[in-house]
Amino acid sequence: MKKTFALFTFLLLIASWSLQAQERKPDWARWHYLSEEEMNTPVRNENFIETDPPAGTPRFVGEFEPMQGVMIRYPLGIPTSLVAQLANNCQVYCVVSSSYQNQAQSTFQNAGVNMDKVTFVNASTDSYWIRDYGPWYIFEDRNPAIVDNRYNRPRPNDDNMSQVFATYWGIPMYGMNLQHTGGNMMEDGRGHGVSDNLVFQENNNNETNVRNKMRDYLGIDPYHVTIDPQGDYIAHVDCWGKYLAPDKILIARLPQSNSHYNDYEEVANYFATTNCCWGYPYHVYRVDEPGGYTLAPYTNSLILNKTVYVPLGDNSSYNNQALAVYQEAMPGYEIVGVTNNDWSIGWENTDALHCRTRGVMDFNMLFVDHREVLHGEQEWKNSYSVVSKFIAYSGMDLKQDSLLVYYSINHSAYQVAHMTATGNPDEYVGTITGYAPGDTISYYVFGADESGHRYTQPVFAELDPHQFIVGPHAPSGELVITPETVRLEHVYQEVPFQIVNQTTEDVIIERFDANYDFGNNKYLEINYGVLLPYTLSPGSSLEVTVGLGTIPILPKGYVDAQIEITTSLGVKTVKVEVLDTAIDSGLYTWETVYFMDQPSLEVGVRNGNTGTNTPITITSIIEENPTGVSYLNIEPQHELPYTLPAGDYFMANLVLNRDNMKGSVVTEVKVLSDQNTIEFSIYIDESILSVTEISSESELYPNPTSGLFTIKGNDIAKVEVYNLVGEKVFEVESGKWRVENYLDASGWNKGIYLVSITKQNGAVESKKLVVE
């Protein structure tokens, strides 16, 4: 019995709900289309006043350009949580009647909105679709202005909104006598615009009149007017498409089973085969929507400075895919998904976030307008000019040192080219150089003004720059290298070659690179005597010399090297042959030896015949001084004559004869051999006279060594180690010294080193260390 009664009660409730549903009228206020009353009210546009078009040049600013604020209306059509997010981005201009302002303020404060970033503009409204009826902001030359049109809804308060804001800002307003709506308009900021064909239908299908007015009042030409692929009552472009950048457009995509699939594909194909303002077809991005009644209003997003607010739908998988598409298309931007679960103002496929907001352009923005974008394969040029206008709407001066072209060759590190004035108003040019045929060039333009505004084109900068490929080049004539092979036959020889421009155009020489490594030794020196990059005019030449700057350690025979010359015609090469005899230098050593604070030194000379491996017989080593006075006792460490193998050192101790010292002196030492005689100077500082006798000698072992070695001794103040060209490779001071120290020579080059050991009393010991 209870079950029967419960069933009866349930059926009674169902019947009651059904009856209420039949009697309930739709909540017309929440829908984007007309209410019953409005359907029976003609559009009168009582508040519209037609004017002449702007006398100056109009520019309709794109949504992705800098915005000083965003307009909303209260009572809201968006969540209060979104108001808080918008206030963290820019100024929020809230249109509200005076009777609702206190309520709006309380609502925002309770939602945590930064009230310093909220400005209330008192005006009456009929709806929250401020995108449709809000002002269309333009620049007339350098000054902000508003363009008003005949709003295509019978809502007189909404229709008056352009005048409200023209008065608020104190800027001109121009009346364009077209019936139009903001949701059916998107623009790229550079003269291109998009609407669907509702704009023709609402203006007596007078296409010529529509296009002329869009050009004269807004600067829109060309005007892309497409079919309405959505096929719904609203016929607004922001319900199925969106400009993301001047060369990027987002188009929704439906499943193939949907009856409107082909319509969407037709529009997508139109843009994929139509040139954007920069001269190449649009990059078309697709965002998938399931179709039907599933909520997926993804194209109805708001771009506000570096953030994109995307309305989310019912299906999390589609939501995530939509956010990923935005991130791919707009690198460097923050992509924020926005849910709206309020039953009374929730998102609709025909009415979402974009419809209920409108950006306010930055009246003081800096506009970077590089129109002749280099793209695709470009015909060869010695250099490519990047021309751009920089318009500082703030009225402040441009920063002349901050007008730049950043460019990368084959995805390498970016280089910078400063831009200079061309003489045309606001126009500057920068030059891209240093490439070769077939190279890929990525670039973007950057500018800054004294007001602190900065901007790039593209706005994504290095994350998604302009890009082109350098075309092939076959100039009349050729760049001639004479001779093509350079032969070096002895040390320190310099052999010239000529680079002759026999073409009919300038050739830029960018750099010289030599492939000449053998182990850690680098032995070629290239001298070109000009600053690079260097422009070689037609018929002119440049002489370049190549030589052996240092003496390499090489195997027997000869070594081939190659000099690569990077030019605007590509890379040219010069072959270098280093003969085995070229690296035979005979005996050599440093030019001057200094006695500064020690009474004895160990010096060495080397057999530099590493090419032919020829030994040298040293016959004598003597001091030779024009005064005839001897300052040194020379103690060869080998009995003379001594045969010195190639690459080895002959060592001698030089001991100061202080009995003959009178102030600082210079004397000479000669080493005689069967091949050549060398000499070096000895400088003896008078301060050496104060050095006391050497104390008990320190020990150094093992010697030779290949790594660790020990220095042992008392009263050591300092140890210094020098190679045979006088470079200090190691030093340790007294506070860090112990009686017995272990030093590591494993990281030193093989060869002979001089170890200078200074005692606490100033005495100095010099020892030879051989590192194997």
The residues assigned a catalytic role are 355
Contact between 445 and 371 (Cβ < 8 Å): no
Backbone φ, ψ for residue 137 (5° rounding) = -85, 135
Please identify which residue in the block is written with the tokens 């296409």. Answer: 207
**Residues with Cβ within 8 Å of residue 62, at least 6 apart in sequence:** 187, 188, 189, 190, 243, 246
Please state, in angstroms and rounded to a whole number, the distance separating the CA atoms of residues 636 and 605: 11
Please identify which residue in the block is written with the tokens 């007294």. Answer: 734
**Residues with Cβ within 8 Å of residue 770, at least 6 apart in sequence:** 703, 704, 705, 751, 752, 753
Specify the amino acid at residue 516: Y
Please state, in angstroms and rounded to a whole number, the distance separating the CA atoms of residues 547 and 492: 6
Residue 458 CB coordination number (10 Å): 21
Please state, in angstroms and rounded to a whole number, the distance separating the CA atoms of residues 161 and 290: 36
Please identify which residue in the block is written with the tokens 């249109």. Answer: 95
Residue 661 CB coordination number (10 Å): 17
Please state, in angstroms and rounded to a whole number, the distance separating the CA atoms of residues 488 and 495: 7
Burial of 301 (0-12, 13-18, 19+ CB in 10 A): buried
Contact between 246 and 189 (Cβ < 8 Å): yes
Q: Is the peptide bond before 458 cis (omega within 30 degrees of 0)?
A: yes
Token pair in block for residue 112 = 């945590």
Which of 707-744 are b and which e, b meaning 16 or more Cβ less than 10 Å from the residue's Cβ?
Answer: eebebebeebbbbbbbebeeeeeeebeeeebeeeeebe
Q: Which strand (E) or helix (H) includes residue 320?
A: helix 316-329
Burial of 2 (0-12, 13-18, 19+ CB in 10 A): exposed
Distances (CA, A) of 267 to 181, 250, 324, 685: 20, 11, 22, 91
**Nearest Cα to Cα of residue 414 among 371, 453, 466:** 466
Contact between 725 and 590 (Cβ < 8 Å): yes
Please state, in angstroms and rounded to a whole number, the distance separating the CA atoms of residues 287 and 152: 29
Contact between 178 and 201 (Cβ < 8 Å): no
Q: Give 443's strand partners.
A: 407, 466
Please state, in angstroms and rounded to a whole number, the distance separating the CA atoms of residues 669 and 184: 95
Helices (H), 487-560: none
Token pair in block for residue 679 = 């000499």
Burial of 56 (0-12, 13-18, 19+ CB in 10 A): middle
Backbone φ, ψ for residue 165 (5° rounding) = -80, -30
In the chain, how many H helices and how many E strands?
A: 11, 54
Distances (CA, A) of 448 to 331, 365, 428, 462: 22, 10, 13, 17
Length of the chain: 772
Contact between 107 and 87 (Cβ < 8 Å): no
> What DSSP line would sit under 549-581, residue for residue?
-S-----SS-EEEEEEEEETTEEEEEEEEE-GG
Q: Give 307's strand partners.
A: 304, 334
Specify the amino acid at residue 308: V
Q: What is the CA radius of gyration of the chain?
A: 42
